[in-house]
């Protein structure tokens, strides 16, 4: 956190949005300070268990690796040799910014609950979902098949997880794939899968 204080701002507060792992790390620290519990316990008690996300957890001991069967991602080292990054330590980004392990089914459950307003009071939901006039429209194929959709997701070395969903949360496509090549090599196939769901 000390390192982040010396970094230049990307904009004034409220002026420009920029994704920041630091923000999520701070949020995780605030949750732990206010509740007196570790972040993994709070996520499990207030989010994962109520939504019955039975395969989702915060990895608190990253060297132990992911529990149970799972995909393996591969990422080139400095010499170009592909390395299995199964034990990639997502907690290096901070507990609030990475380290949750899940499945596409559990992520669909979470996204549907969030989109349908079952996770937050309406005033908080609006803060996260109302778009400013300058905010781009959802990424989707509205012009081609009449159904705008939104995208959420993330990546780590060797893997990508994405959820595509309609505004009402009723139509979704969640996918997780591991990589042995650059992500751009699979973009065409991902596009075809999205079209098959949102543009039948």
Residue 133 is predicted with a pLDDT of 45
Q: Among the ranges 20-34, 86-100, 129-143, which has the highest mean pLDDT value? A: 20-34
Residue 45 is predicted with a pLDDT of 96
pTM of the shown model: 0.75
Residue 48 is predicted with a pLDDT of 97
Average the pLDDT over 149-161 and give the result.
81
CATH number, domain of 82, equals 3.40.710.10
Residue 175: strand pairing partners: 162
Residue 89 is predicted with a pLDDT of 62
Segments forming the whole domain that contains residue 80: 2-198
Is the distance from CB of 27 to CB of 128 less than 8 angstroms? no
Residue 197 is predicted with a pLDDT of 85
Residue 121 is predicted with a pLDDT of 92
Query: If 0-12 CB within 10 Å is exposed, 13-18 middle and 19+ buried, where does residue 122 land?
Result: exposed
Q: Return the exposure string of 161-173: e unless at least 16 CB atoms fall within 10 Å of the residue's CB, then b.
A: bbbbbbeebeebb
Mean pLDDT of the chain: 78
Q: What is the pLDDT of residues 84-127, one digit of tens each?
A: 877 666 655 456 777 788 888 999 999 999 988 999 999 988 88
Q: Which two tokens mark 50?
A: 């109520």
Helix%, strand%, coil% for the chain, nearest 5: 40, 15, 45
Number of domains in the chain: 1
Residue 65 is predicted with a pLDDT of 67
């Amino acid at each position: 956190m000390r390192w982040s204080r010396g970094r230049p701002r990307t904009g004034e507060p409220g002026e420009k949005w920029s994704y920041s792992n630091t923000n999520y790390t701070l949020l995780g620290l605030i949750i732990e300070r206010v509740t007196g519990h570790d972040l993994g316990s709070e996520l499990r008690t207030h989010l994962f268990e109520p939504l019955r996300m039975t395969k989702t957890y915060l990895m608190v001991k990253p060297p132990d690796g992911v529990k149970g069967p799972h995909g393996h991602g591969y990422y080139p080292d400095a010499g170009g040799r592909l390395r299995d990054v199964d034990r990639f330590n997502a907690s290096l980004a901070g507990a609030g910014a990475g380290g949750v392990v899940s499945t596409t089914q559990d992520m669909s459950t979470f996204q549907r609950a969030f989109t349908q307003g079952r996770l937050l009071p309406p005033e908080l939901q609006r803060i996260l979902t109302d778009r400013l006039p300058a905010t781009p429209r959802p990424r989707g194929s509205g012009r081609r098949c009449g159904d705008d959709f939104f995208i959420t997701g993330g990546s780590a070395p060797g893997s990508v997880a994405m959820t595509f969903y309609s505004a009402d949360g009723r139509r979704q496509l969640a996918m997780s794939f591991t990589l042995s090549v650059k992500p751009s090599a699979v973009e065409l196939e991902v596009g075809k899968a999205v079209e098959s769901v949102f543009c039948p």
